[in-house]
């Protein structure tokens, strides 16, 4: 009977460790989601404000969202020439007839936190 106690205790320990880990993981609450989406969607957001909020999200353990906000801040600081080059790449993508190349371009835009542009390109490529 005593040898059976050890596997039971080990199992209970594993289950309790799993529960504690799940409870301690950072979560995107409804309030955080609203703040995050407003920051991403606001066209006039100051890059410094985006960086500040990215640091807050990172401090809360939400690194994926923080990275996206940092990238969005960098986008806001692009020079006019860089912005025009990105716009030209988008126009060429929308004029292309090669879905594979358009999907690659969409991936490149998404990697720089341009999710809306990436979605538009993917929708267009899917329609070809």
Domain positions in the chain are 2-76, 80-127
Return the residue matching tokens 């594979």.
100
Q: How confident is the model at residue 44 (pLDDT cuts 50, 70, 90)?
A: confident
Range with the poorest average pLDDT among 6-20, 54-68, 76-90: 6-20
Return the residue matching tokens 């609203």.
34
Return the residue matching tokens 């126009």.
91
- Closest by Cα among 75, 74, 2, 61 to 26: 61
- Are the beta carbons of 90 and 121 closer than 8 angstroms? yes
Q: How confident is the model at residue 27 (pLDDT cuts 50, 70, 90)?
A: confident
pLDDT in tens, 98-110: 999 999 999 999 9
> Cβ-count burial of 11 within 10 angstroms (0-12 exposed, 13-18 middle, 19+ buried)?
exposed
Q: Which residues lie closer than 8 Å to 105 by C-beta, 6 or more apart?
A: 89, 90, 93, 121
């Amino acid at each position: 009977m005593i040898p059976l106690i050890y596997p039971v205790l080990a199992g209970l320990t594993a289950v309790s460790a799993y529960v504690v880990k799940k409870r301690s993981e950072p979560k995107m609450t409804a309030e955080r989601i609203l703040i995050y989406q407003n920051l991403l969607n606001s066209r006039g957001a100051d890059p410094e404000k985006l960086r500040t909020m990215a640091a807050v999200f990172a401090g809360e353990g939400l690194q994926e969202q923080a990275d996206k906000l940092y990238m969005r801040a960098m986008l806001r600081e692009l020079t006019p020439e860089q912005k025009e080059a990105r716009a030209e790449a988008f126009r060429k993508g929308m004029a292309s007839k090669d879905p594979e190349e358009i999907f690659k371009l969409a991936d490149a835009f998404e990697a720089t936190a341009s999710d809306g542009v990436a979605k538009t390109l993917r929708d267009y490529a899917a329609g070809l």
